Structure 1
Amino acid sequence: MEALLIDDEPLALRRLASLLSQYPADVRVVGQAANGQEGLAMVRALRPDVIFLDIEMPLLNGFELLAQLEEMPSVVFTTAYDHYAVQAFEQRSIDYLLKPIESARLAKTIARLRRTRQEQAAGLNLDDLGQFLQHLKPAETLRSLSVKSGDKILLLSLSDISYFESQERYVFVRTVQGQQHLTNYTIAALEEKLPAQFVRISRSCIVNTLHINNLQRYFGGKFLVTLTDRAASCLETGTAYGTNLKRLMEL
Structure 2
Amino acid sequence: MDSITCIIIDDEELARKRLIRLLKPFEFFQIMAEASNGQEGLDLVEEHKPELIFLDIEMPLLNGFEMLGRLTHQPKVIFTTAYDQYAIKAFEENSVDYLLKPVEKDRLEKSVKKLRLYKTLSPDFASLQSLIDHLKPKKELRTLTVKIGDKILLIKLEDIVHIEAEDKYIFLRTADGNSHLTDFTLAGLEERLPDNFVRIHRGSIINTDKIKEIRKSFNGSLVFLLSDKENTKVSSGRSFSDSLRDRFDI
AA of the residue aligned to 2:124? L
Name the residue aligned to 2:22: 19
Query: In the alignment, does 2:1 pair up with 1:4?
Result: no
SS at match of 1:32: strand
Structure 1 stretches lacking a partner, 5+ long: 140-191, 198-251
Q: Structure 2 vs 1, CA of residues 65 and 79 (structure 1 numbering), >3 Å: closer, same or farther?
A: same
- 1:113-153 deviation per Cα after TM superposition (whole angstroms, max 9, x unaligned): 12200xx225222x3322221222346xxxxxxxxxxxxxx
Q: Structure 2 vs 1, CA of residues 122 and 77 (structure 1 numbering), >3 Å: closer, same or farther?
A: farther
- 1:82-130 deviation per Cα after TM superposition (whole angstroms, max 9, x unaligned): 567521111111000000100000001011112200xx225222x3322
Cα distance in structure 1, aligned partners of 2:105 and 2:115: 15
Q: Structure 2 vs 1, CA of residues 85 and 135 (structure 1 numbering), >3 Å: closer, same or farther?
A: farther
AA of the residue aligned to 1:123? P
Cα distance in structure 1, aligned partners of 2:100 and 2:45: 22
Structure 2 stretches lacking a partner, 5+ long: 144-250
Task: Kindly indicate whether the alpha-carbon contact (under 8 Å) linking 1:4 and 1:31 is maintained by their aligned counterparts in 2.
Answer: yes
Name the residue aligned to 2:194: none
Instruction: After TM superposition, list the pairs within 5 Å mapping 1:9-158 onto structure 2.
Output: 9-24=12-27, 26-82=28-84, 85-117=87-119, 120-125=120-125, 127-138=126-137
Q: CA RMSD in A?
A: 1.9
Q: Structure 2 vs 1, CA of residues 60 and 111 (structure 1 numbering), >3 Å: closer, same or farther?
A: same
Name the residue aligned to 1:249: none
AA of the residue aligned to 1:132? L
* Distance apart, 1:42 and its partner CA: 0.1
Q: Structure 2 vs 1, CA of residues 91 and 55 (structure 1 numbering), >3 Å: closer, same or farther?
A: same
* TM-score, length of structure 2 as denominator length: 0.52
Identity %: 47
Cα distance in structure 2, aligned partners of 1:83 and 1:47: 29
* TM-score, length of structure 1 as denominator length: 0.52
Task: Kindly indicate whether the alpha-carbon contact (under 8 Å) linking 2:8 and 2:34 is maintained by their aligned counterparts in 1.
Answer: yes
Cα distance in structure 1, aligned partners of 2:25 and 2:79: 19
Task: Kindly indicate whether the alpha-carbon contact (under 8 Å) linking 2:52 and 2:75 is maintained by their aligned counterparts in 1.
Answer: yes
Task: Kindly indicate whether the alpha-carbon contact (under 8 Å) linking 1:2 and 1:27 is maintained by their aligned counterparts in 2.
Answer: yes
Q: Structure 2 vs 1, CA of residues 50 and 84 (structure 1 numbering), >3 Å: closer, same or farther?
A: closer
Between the two structures, name the one with larger relative contact order (CA 8 Å, sep ≥ 6): 1
Task: Kindly indicate whether the alpha-carbon contact (under 8 Å) linking 1:85 and 1:135 is maintained by their aligned counterparts in 2.
Answer: no
Q: Structure 2 vs 1, CA of residues 29 and 59 (structure 1 numbering), >3 Å: closer, same or farther?
A: same
* Distance apart, 1:23 and its partner CA: 0.2
Whose radius of gyration is greater, 1 or 2?
2
Task: Kindly indicate whether the alpha-carbon contact (under 8 Å) linking 1:53 and 1:76 is maintained by their aligned counterparts in 2.
Answer: yes
- 1:190-212 deviation per Cα after TM superposition (whole angstroms, max 9, x unaligned): xx4x5648xxxxxxxxxxxxxxx
AA of the residue aligned to 1:6? I
Cα distance in structure 2, aligned partners of 1:84 and 1:30: 26
Q: Report how many residues are paired.
A: 140
